[in-house]
Amino acid sequence: MSEQLEKLKEQLMEIDNLRSAAALLYWDQATYMPPGGATARGQQIATLNHISHEKFTSDRMGELLEDLAWYELESPYDSDETNLVRITRLKYEKAIKVPSDFMAKISNHSAASYQAWTKARPANDFSTMLPYLEKTLELSRQLADFYPGYEHIANPLIDRSDEGMKAEQIRLIFSELRSKLVPMVNAITNQIATDVSCLHGDFPEQDQFQFGNMVIKQLGFDFNRGRQDKTHHPFMTKFSINDVRITTRSKDDDISESLFSTIHEAGHAFYELGINENFNATPLGSGTSSGIHESQSRLWENIVGRSREFWEFFYPKLQSAFPGQFDSVPIDQFYKAINNVERSLIRTDADEVTYNLHVMMRFDLELDLLVGQLAIKDLPQAWNERFRSDFGIVPTDDSNGVLQDVHWYSGTIGGAFQGYTLGNILSRQFYDRATQTHSEISTEIANGKFDTLQNWLREQIYRHGSKFTPNELIRRVTGNELSIEPYIRYLWGSMVNFISYRFCLLWTDGEDFQVLMLDKFSLCLPISG
């Protein structure tokens, strides 16, 4: 290994140490920090981000990358060294376009905005957040303008979290997905409502927390390299490959919110904990995109965590953990309750079928804000109108509407939400590939064994970190491009169990079939076979 490559790694480790320290300060801010520390904390995080950005965009970094350019020309494309140089160079070329002072300004503002949001949401006070959000929009536009030549102002912001994706491409994916989801939502929600009363009762917060920890430990979460704490809005963060933190929140009268947010964030953690240790403290040492990351959180939360096999193993344990709550509740009733489909207000609580409608709405509102078609002051009204149009219901207040998600209040506007739906789509593509390779996975899940699935995901996805672009990784793992069809097929196959109508499967063209729902009405939904 060349001396210059070692010097590059040393420089990158120093930068990563600064960024990890900033992440630790943010984690503390979101978990244990007293409210009075908000102003100083914002300054501390901003200072560290300013220094790390200056070091990464320094002339010294540029010189090292220039000296190492031959790796990209002469070494195999798949080699770790080649990709370290390549990915670092790509990130460097993007980073040098943005002044360090500006990055510090964003960081400082985001910290202050987040702290204000933690008070504004429970108080249902959007007016408090109005000046913060207007400033966030201004900074988001300025950030995009550092990357001139874009086709859409959102593109540079989307690229920061989902490399290679553009607004128009996402619009097309979302339009196709929406055309299949809307009739599915209508078909399911026109049925007699599922009884979800078993999910509500007296569930002490600490008992929920302990049960969630037991579940994710069984799934493979390593508490020697991670921990879980409580926060206002669940998230995952890391300070090294061997120190990954997740958070959750709970309601004393609802068993589902804490449990599924815990599994969701554990899915993110599995990705980070599974990365090749040699990539630690380098640009390769993190997940490759928001969409790929969300594919793992949603795979574990929904495809595994809401499956019948999963609960064949965990339901008796849930009954033991909460004596008397589920004694008279058959597993079938519980299973239907956690997979209930309904038009609801809160994205993080939404079922698998309606969830993506929440994401699409936020994505469209982001674009409208960025291009100036929507003013921040009009955002609550626009939110409620879109909700009425998409869901047939209207938020009762802003805390259950425009204030519910932390993303716009702790980061930029643009690129914040599309990864969730991209992740949903990819979660099924990846899981289908895993079960094609290992048909025993479903049986193992029913027996509380998750090693085969974990090992496959680690080998195919996790260990690579950011070595490959999202599109490269998708092709390597699945042999195909991103496609909504496996996801739609999965949703329909799952939800058909909760619909009381009779079905007839009609094959067409030898490849596609249609599901015809009969009795009170007829509806055709094309699903690839």
CB 291 within 8 A of CB 461: no
Strands 243-248 and 226-230: parallel
Q: What angle do CA 382, 383, 384 make, to 5 degrees?
A: 90
Buried b (16+ CB within 10 A) or exposed e, 334-357: bbbbbbbbbebbebbbbbbbbbbb
Nearest of 70, 322, 301 to residue 211 by alpha carbon: 322
Write down the residue that tokens 């999910």 correspond to: 199
Nearest of 350, 341, 333, 340 to residue 198 by alpha carbon: 333
At 1, is the secondary structure helix, strand, or coil?
coil
Q: Is 110 exposed, middle or buried (0-12, 13-18, 19+ CB in 10 A)?
A: buried
Q: Is 328 exposed, middle or buried (0-12, 13-18, 19+ CB in 10 A)?
A: exposed
CB 188 within 8 A of CB 353: yes
Length of the chain equals 529
| Structure tokens, 463 | 């260990």
Q: Tell me the backbone φ, ψ of residue 227, rounded to 5 degrees.
A: -155, 165
Cα–Cα distance measured from residue 137 to residue 44, given in angstroms and rounded to the nearest whole number? 23
Q: Which helix (H) or strand (E) holds 505?
A: strand 503-508
Set 163, 205, 257, 265: catalytic member: 265
| Structure tokens, 365 | 């509102």
N-term to C-term CA, the chain: 50
Write down the residue that tokens 């320290």 correspond to: 21
Cα–Cα distance measured from residue 26 to residue 41, given in angstroms and rounded to the nearest whole number? 8
Residue 54 annotated as catalytic: no
| Structure tokens, 60 | 């010294």
Q: Among all residues, which ones are annotated catalytic? A: 265
